[in-house]
Amino acid sequence: MAWRAFDDGRTIGSSGSEQGVILRDDEHDDGARITLERDGAIAPFAITCGVYGWMLHTRFFSREAEAEQAYDEMRAALGRIVDALPRIGDPDARNKSYEASVAMAAFADRYP
């Protein structure tokens, strides 16, 4: 599946969850979102991301170049997690759900 601009890009320039200006905002077809903000309440840059119904994670950065690089890395990693989630009716849903939970914990550890 693919990443697309969230809400057809209409959120760019608006205020995000960290009270900053949204610079990038992408949504995965299978249920994930990642947002990059500038000048938020806590730090110069913030990335908020999540897998719908599973996890929410936020990171803070002082430099834009570092935040942009992390955004691309995190988006790719989130895509792999979403691709591995069990689908409705999957006979192996229990094992896949456990593996997805482990992958999400590892994601949070890798991107603190």
In tens, the pLDDT along 34-73 reads 999 999 999 999 999 999 999 999 999 999 999 999 999 9
Q: What is the rounded average pLDDT of the residues 76-94? A: 95
pLDDT, residue 43, reads 98
pLDDT band at 100 (very low <50, low <70, confident <90, very high): very high
Q: Kindly report each contact of residues 55-63 with a partner whose C-beta sits within 8 Å and lies 24 or more positions away, as own/partner.
A: 55/104, 55/107, 55/108, 57/107, 57/108, 57/111, 58/17, 58/18, 59/111, 59/112
Please compute the mean of the pLDDT values over residues 66-83 and round it to a whole number: 97
What is the pLDDT confidence band of residue 1, given thresholds at 50, 70 and 90?
low
**Percent share of the chain, pLDDT over 70:** 99
